Amino acid sequence: MKYKALSKEAVARIEAELPKYPDRRSLTLPALRIAQEDLGYVSEPAMIDIAEILELTPIQVYDVATFYSQYNMKPVGTYLVQVCKTLSCALVGAASIVEHLQKKLGIGIGETTEDGFFTLKVVECLASCGSGPMMQINDRYYEQLTPEKVDQILSDLKEQGKSALATGPFMLPALQGQK
Amino acid sequence: MSSRITLKINDQEVTVEKGTRVIEAAKLAGAEIAHFCYHPKLKPDANCRMCLVEIEKMPKLQTSCSTEVSEGMVVQTASEKVLDAQKGVMAFLLGNHPLDCPECDQGGECQLQDFAHQYGAMTSPFGETKRTFEKTYFGPLIEKEMNRCVSCLRCVRYCDEVIGSNALGSMNRGSMHEVGAFAQQELDCEFCGGCIQICPVGALTSRVSMFDYRTWQLKKTETVCNYCGDGCTLTLETVDEDIKRVSSETGVGRNGGDLCARGFFGYGAVNHESRLTRPRIRLNNNDLEVTWEWAYQTVTDGLKAAIQTHGPKAVGGIISAQCTNEEIYLFQKLMRESVGTPHIDSGARFGYINAIAALTDVFGTARLSRYEDISEADCLLVFAGDMTETNPITALKVKDAIRNHKTKLFTVAPYHRKRETYISHLPHLATQHTEISMGSENAAILGFTKAILEGTPSPHTPSDLFEKIKFAVNGISFDQIESATGVSEQAFKDIGAGFANAERGLIIVGRSILRGIEGYQSMLRLAELSILSGQVGRPGTGILALAKESNAFGAVEMGGTPEFLPGFQSLKKEERGYTALEMIDAAARGEIKALYLVGENPLRSLPQKRVAEALKQLDFLICQDLYPTETTALAHVVLPGASYAEKSGRFTNHEGETQKIREAIDPLGNAKPDWQIFSTLINKMKTTEKVPYQKLLGYASVDAVWKEAVMAMPQGWPVLLGSKMQESLAAYAARANVTWLAPEPFVKNGAFDLQVGQSLFHSGKMSTYATGLTTLQDKMMVLMHPEDAERLEIEEEELVQISVEGSDAVIELPVKYSKKLSEGTLFISEHFALEIKKMLPFTTDSTTGVPYGDRGRVSLAKVRVST
């Protein structure tokens, strides 16, 4: 087996992207995203695989991966909870949401719950400034959060794998009709 | 057409070339602009923001490192606005910088210190705790202290843009930014030391000389490296008689300030504790330390006795091609004139003579191509897949040509196109790489010759030579060539046409041909190939043969081989003396009775059994060397010579460029510069009762020797490829005996093809005395392709047994994976134990007598572990 970490599907997806880019190195970002979707995070063997596909050295991939906070350099839980801590959200109580999440999940920032369901992170602006405090869990937004809403979301996700409280990411259905 | 631009910097007018950057123009105008990320070797990055200047009509300050000059530009480099901005940048840079200047090895030559002195405020606006990184090691030789880093990325960019090792990266961001290797592992790169040298601060420093000096104590001596034929200028930095470190100045020397691991970390060999420091003689089976006077007398008596009893031809001498021009000249003078023997040879015999003899035969000179020609060429045809290892700086010239001059590179070698993870590899960078079967270089030359002959041969090819080549190639088919090389007719035609049709094409040859079977003939055929392609005699064309030893070219030019007197005066066959191996065989026959070896250890370099037998027959063996060897142990007299750092003289590199080496420290102990030893011996040999030794004047300096050597060359010095080329070519065309035999098909039988060759971290035996280099590699390993290893279920570091067909001997070595090797081939570096060479088949060149014993077919098996 030529590749150590990436699945055949992931390798095929990366190779399928090649014609879209002027050279192989330009594919580093999408390749890292595909690797993350494949493995849940960007492991060191995965970066070595990407380097092999893109004809780079592993450090050239690592260099890019460590620059962007969107790439997980360590394994994360099934649900990656990212709470915005930038100004607009901070002004409407992002800190108390983070505090509530920590208490509720029993973990610190950057940690994963023992059952492997949730990882908690705080991040910079997610461009939902009109509807803070907000968080992103995997690919979905959850906005205008309150501690009660957070509890509901966490239990929905744990029990049903999805929550009706999800909004966005590009629309704000929760706000519609409130005018 | 005016490519000059006039602008005003600080009210001073300055005229510069178009494309110059403001920071460079300012320097010419006498205004040094503070900077960190700018470096003349690197593309502008403008990341440090230190070099901001005010340019009229531009609303904001501009980074002078990335702004090109334009006509009428008005620049202020020290206005209040500029100084204010620079102070601001400085405050940020110092915000996290530690106050460890007193124990920082960069202290005294640190750009941050200098510019802080110039711009820095006395106080910092930051009251926060400084962010700190743990000190880590960047590998065995480099210390990484990220607290000192100013994030200019010069190290990363140098590694990418110049060396092409791509071993460094920039990680994380903001105040947590750092440079480093993949996943914080230790570096496993080319260890050129470039990142240490280019770091403006003390973030990357050498572990070899950590805390050994303060920079202002160092005495600097500019000299030339002795580890290969590239001829790199480097600076030995010393305190008293101790070399503390090596540096190189940007843009200086043939290397332009770039070095390799051997140049940068290899200086430890000079003051190694095992050096010979006193003359010794063997008297009645006792090994005695003696005075120089006694030793000289013993040598003179011994030589005279041999001459008297057996005649002068009973004496022979072999000198290392790491000795200077002056030394080789004097040694051949001692042998030819004082003793009267034609038997003089040098380290050039181990391959380089093939290049010099063949090129001189054809063109009248071997000075065909220089580094400038590599940059000027449009197309390079390279028969040296291992150039990064054998001649790292010439390889840099090739890389520079591909990257910055759009030169096409065709490589031909028994290597894969793939590279090791962090070590550059020319086939990897090639426009087209031709992977040939091991040992089929000659057949590949034939393929190209045939392709060009049937394609578009140069109309300037002398017609008689053209007919001879055509006749010789006639009857050999591309199928036969393919069965030997594994390369298709189409590939030969594509590359042949690419090379022959290029405006300027240049051939580079390495040891795979010079030390391959019948290297002399191969070199003639290559010379014919360059004539047939019309790629010789103009800038950007010709043939560059890579030398392994620092003065291989000079050794031949100075008369250090039996076939040439000084100045490449070719001797007739009957006037020629013996080659190195012929001397050994003559000693075995009892014909040569006294042998003088300078820096040569035939017990390592030639078939050991044969040499051991021969040396036993000698009446008198003189060894002049730096270190004790298997051969010095047998010598009647051992004279301690001086290393390149301890003497002055000249080396001639493989371009034919003669450069001065300078004495940085005194010779260790009682050792003496070799030229002084020869000078004394020449006089001693003249001494009679009537003319006592004291009345004879020796050479006053190496320059006096050099003058005499140049005067001894009837054609003058140096002989360049000029108007005489046509004459020489016509004469060659008339007498040439072009023969091509149908190549033998390459048969794979499941065995491995082994190549013994050079490692990037070593050169001959001398480098194994340098701690810096033994830290990188201190043992023999066998390199094999990972897929071969996987097939045989062999792990890295696992011991394997290697045996050669027809030999009972078996050696055990650990395995290292190597992606650049072709499947079915193995590689062992030659610097440590030589058991493997004893097992490989040995032949010599039918013309030049060059010994060949680097290749063979072997079988490899796992070592069975008894449980």
Give Cα B731 distance to the centre of its chain. 34
* Mean pLDDT rounded to a whole number for chain A: 92
Q: In order of start, what are the domains of chain A with their CATH numbers?
A: 8-67 (1.10.10), 79-169 (3.40.30.10)
Chain A residues within 8 A of B166 when measuring between CB atoms: 56-57, 59-60
Q: Do B167 and A57 lie within an 8 Å CB cutoff?
A: yes
Residues of A in contact with B170 (CB under 8 A): 63, 67
Confidence of residue A37 (pLDDT cuts 50, 70, 90): very high
Closest residue in chain B to residue A73, using alpha carbons only: B183
pLDDT at A78 over 90: yes
Say if residue B221's pLDDT is above 60.
yes
pLDDT at B215 over 60: yes
- Establish if A45 touches chain B: CB-CB under 8 angstroms: no
8 Å CB contact of A67 and B167: no
Task: Fill in the DSSP letter of residue B741.
Answer: P
B167, A62: Cβ pair inside 8 Å? no
Distance CA A58, CA A47 (A): 6
In chain B, the domains with their CATH numbers are 4-78 (3.10.20.740), 284-344+558-647+664-693 (3.40.50.740), 352-545 (3.40.228.10), 752-862 (2.40.40.20)
**What pLDDT sits at residue B285?**
86
Taking only the tens place, the pLDDT of each residue in B97-137 is 999 999 999 999 999 999 998 877 788 889 889 999 998 88
A57: nearest CB among B171, B183, B421: B421
pLDDT number for residue B644: 97
Question: CA of A39 to nearest chain B CA: how many angstroms apart?
Answer: 18
Q: Give the global pTM.
A: 0.94
Query: What pLDDT score was predicted for residue B138?
Result: 84
Residue B767 above 60 pLDDT? yes
pLDDT at A61: 97
Q: What percent of chain B has pLDDT over 90?
A: 90
Q: How many whole angstroms separate alpha carbon B368 and alpha carbon B332? A: 26
Which two structure tokens, joined as six digits, stand for B624? 């002049």
Q: What percent of chain A stands above pLDDT 70?
A: 93
Binary contact (A57, B171; C-beta < 8 A):
no
Q: Note the pLDDT tens digit of each residue in A103-142.
A: 999 999 999 999 999 999 999 999 888 888 999 999 899 9
Q: Which of B166, B171, B173 has the CB atom closest to A57's CB atom?
A: B166
Rounded CA separation B149/B147 (Å): 6
The residue-averaged pLDDT of B802-818 equals: 90
A92 to chain B, closest Cα gap in Å = 27
Question: Within 10 A of B684 (CB to CB), how many other CB atoms are there?
Answer: 20
Please tell me which of the candidates B171, B421, B422 has its beta carbon nearest to residue A63: B171
Å from B400 to nearest chain A CA? 19
Chain B CA closest to residue A2:
B787
- Give B183's contacts in chain A (Cβ within 8 Å): 44, 47, 58, 62
Q: How much is the average pLDDT of B790-818? A: 92
Cβ separation of A62 and B171 shorter than 8 Å?
A: yes
Of B410, B382, B496, B494, nearest to B446 (Cα)? B496
Q: Do A59 and B166 touch (CB under 8 A)?
A: yes
Residue ranges with strand state E in B480-609? 505-509, 542-545, 564-565, 569-570, 594-598
DSSP labels, B562-581: TTEETTTEEPPGGG----HH
Closest listed residue to residue B442, CA positions, set B543, B349, B381, B524: B524
Q: Which of B227-231, B433-437, B804-808 has the lowest mean pLDDT?
A: B804-808
Interface with chain B: mutation pick from A57, A61, A74, highest number of B CBs within 10 Å: A57
Q: So what's the pLDDT on residue B676?
A: 97
Give the chain A residue whose CA is nearest to the CA of B819. A52
A46 interfacial to chain B (CB closer than 8 Å): no
- Contact of A44 with chain B, judged by CB distance below 8 Å, is answered with yes
Radius of gyration of chain B (CA): 29
Report how far residue B686's alpha carbon sits from residue B704's, in angstroms, rounded to the nearest whole number.
Answer: 19
B171 chain-A contacts, CB cut-off 8 A: 62-63, 66-67
Note the pLDDT of residue B579. 97
Question: pLDDT by residue (tens digit) across B835-855?
Answer: 888 899 999 999 999 999 999
Question: Mean pLDDT across chain B, nearest whole number?
Answer: 95
- Measured CA to CA, the distance from residue B141 to residue B313 in angstroms comes to 50
Interface touch A62/B169, C-beta < 8 Å: yes
Q: Does A52 touch chain B (CB under 8 A)?
A: no
Residue B695 has pLDDT above 80, yes or no: no
CA–CA separation, B532 vs B456, rounded Å?
A: 9
Residues in chain B with CB shorter than 8 Å from the CB of A62 are 169, 171, 182-183
More confident residue, B834 or B586: B586
Structure tokens at A151: 């509890």
Rounded to 5 degrees, what angle do the CA atoms A128, A134, A138 make? Answer: 95
Per-residue pLDDT, A152: 96
pLDDT at A2 > cutoff 80: no
Q: What is the pLDDT of residues B395-426, one digit of tens each?
A: 999 999 999 999 999 999 999 999 999 999 99
Better pLDDT: B865 or B259: B259
What is the rounded average pLDDT of the residues B591-616?
96
Q: How far is CA B704 from CA B213, B658, B698, B711, in A?
A: 36, 16, 10, 11
- Please report which confidence band the pLDDT of residue A179 belongs to, taking 50, 70 and 90 as the band edges: very low
Give the pLDDT score at B696: 79
Binary contact (B166, A44; C-beta < 8 A): no
Chain A segment 159-178 residues within 8 A of B by beta carbon are: none
Report how many Cβ contacts below 8 Å link chain A to chain B. Answer: 37
A59: Cα separation from own chain's centroid:
23
Region B463-486 average pLDDT = 96
Report the pLDDT value the prediction gives residue A1, as an integer from 0 to 100: 52
Taking CA atoms, what residue in A is nearest to B166? A57
User: Is residue B603 very low, low, confident or very high in pLDDT (cuts 50, 70, 90)?
Assistant: very high
For residue B255, pLDDT beyond 70: yes
Of A44, A56, A59, the CB nearest to B168: A59
Beta strands, E only, B614-751: 620-625, 637-640, 649-652, 658-661
Helices (H), B596-746: 602-605, 608-617, 674-686, 702-711, 724-735
Strands of B139-255 (E only): list them: 142-144, 169-171, 178-180, 204-206, 219-224, 233-239, 242-247
Residues A160-174 pLDDT 10s: 999 999 986 555 555
